[in-house]
Amino acid sequence: MPEASTAAAHAPVYVVGAGPGGLAVAAALRGRGVPAVVVEKADKVGNSWRGHYDRLHLHTTRRLSSLPGLRMPRRFGRWVRRDDVVAYLEKYAEFHELDVVTGVAVERVEALPEGGGWRLRAGGGRVLEGRAVVVATGFNHTPYVPGWPGLDAYGGEVLHAGAYRAAEPFRGKDVLVVGVGNTGAEIAVDLAEGGAARVRLAVRTPPYILRRSTLGWPAQRTGILIRRLPVRLVDLLADPVCRLSVPDLGDKGLARPSGGLATRARQGAIPVQDVGLVAAVRAGRVEPVAAVEEFADGEVVLADGSRVRPDAVVAATGYRRGLEPLVGHLGVLGPDGRPRVRGARTAKHAPGLYFTGYTNPISGMFRELALDADRIAARIARSR
């Protein structure tokens, strides 16, 4: 089915969000001669990466994280620094001569009658009409903090990991990091190395921990190889590998994981790539403690009944997609708030409405964004 009536067929494709996902789609469209405009709410491209903590490097390799049509330069090294990711995204938009409109937040996407394309309602009363829309507003859109009982009345400092930049403001302080995904694990290490007096790490479910690379072989490559294998097989294979490569930290309060690496990854808990956590836990510089249950009387109550009184709590408790105001009325979201379709696929009743970047694959998200960009662009180009 064509995506839009002939009048709308000449309208551009709108891409919402100028992160790596949106920029990659725009570049792939341009490469196929399809006019595309990227609409970005911030005043620069790569907004999410500008806000990440100082210490951050890609944990996926430079080679496997390049977007279509422009490689990341060798001088960025194997594990690319945050600032170099930002520089790359700026260069990427410039190199591909992308049409990026900054400072405009898209608030709502509406279908035009009779398959006539899509209307975008944006800040300042702007209305844009396009023949297709690619939504690329990010997996990590809205910081999420669980509704812990007592949190509102708690007087102490609590910040989401998205607001954490560096250890310096926490020098000499007792900090509780909550959540042991890649972000929580790395922030705990950063705090321990950066002079925090004490760092505890609240763990609900012990994570699978992998070495970022072994004898030069990056964990990401294994992630790519095993991605298509049956989940149960990967679970079986992964257990002994994790046991061999990561020492038992049970006596330090971090039990061996269970549930199967691939099974857990499918549920959204991708393995933690070790960038210092194992050593820090072994040395007692990061102390695993039980999960946070509630806040009471100026203290944090943990699942084992113990209480702690940190100077600051860093909630590394993830993000939500935040797509409801934008497209929730279109019947394209699942109960978990994620789009029901991705990549080149569109919902039957919403042809021309694409999504990229709403999965968190074990093979690396930059890589996935690059692959989806080509698929989406090919599909849009075909439907002209």
**Would you say 253 or 322 has its CB closer to ligand FAD?**
322
Q: What whole-number distance in Å separates Cα of residue 316 and Cα of residue 254?
A: 17
Site membership for ligand FAD, residue 222 (CB under 6 A):
no
**Per-residue interface string for the shown chain with ligand FAD, residues 52-71, x marking contact by CB under 6 A:** x---x-xxx----x------
Tokens for 115, please give them: 């398959």
Nearest to 278 by CA among 317, 230, 246: 246
Site membership for ligand FAD, residue 357 (CB under 6 A):
yes
Site membership for ligand FAD, residue 14 (CB under 6 A):
no
Cα–Cα separations (whole angstroms), residue 357 to 25, 312, 361:
11, 32, 10
26 close to 63: Cβ distance less than 8 angstroms = no
Cα–Cα separations (whole angstroms), residue 320 to 266, 270, 285:
17, 16, 31
Q: Which residue is nearest to ligand FAD (CB)?
A: 19
Task: Name which position in 37, 330, 365, 377 contacts ligand FAD (CB under 6 A).
Answer: 365
Site membership for ligand FAD, residue 21 (CB under 6 A):
yes
Choose one: 11-19, 203-211, 230-238, 344-352; the region binding ligand FAD (CB under 6 A).
11-19
Q: What whole-number distance in Å separates Cα of residue 204 and Cα of residue 208?
A: 13
Closest distance of CB 293 from ligand FAD, Å = 26
Closest distance of CB 141 from ligand FAD, Å = 6
* Residues in region 29-48 near ligand FAD by CB under 6 A: 39-42, 47-48
**Would you say 48 or 346 has its CB closer to ligand FAD?**
48
**Per-residue interface string for the shown chain with ligand FAD, residues 124-153, x marking contact by CB under 6 A:** ------------xxxxx-------------
* Residues in region 153-192 near ligand FAD by CB under 6 A: 183
Q: What is the DSSP string of 201-269?
A: EEESSPPPEEESEETTEEHHHHHHHHTTS-HHHHHHHHHHHHHHHS---GGGT-PPP-S-HHHHHHTT-
Q: What is the DSSP string of 347-381?
A: -TTSTTEEE-S----TT-HHHHHHHHHHHHHHHHH
Q: What whole-number distance in Å separates Cα of residue 360 and Cα of residue 346?
A: 19
* Residues in region 89-108 near ligand FAD by CB under 6 A: 105-106
Residues that bind ligand FAD (CB under 6 A): 16-22, 39-42, 47-49, 52, 56, 58-60, 65, 105-106, 136-140, 183, 326, 357, 364-366, 369
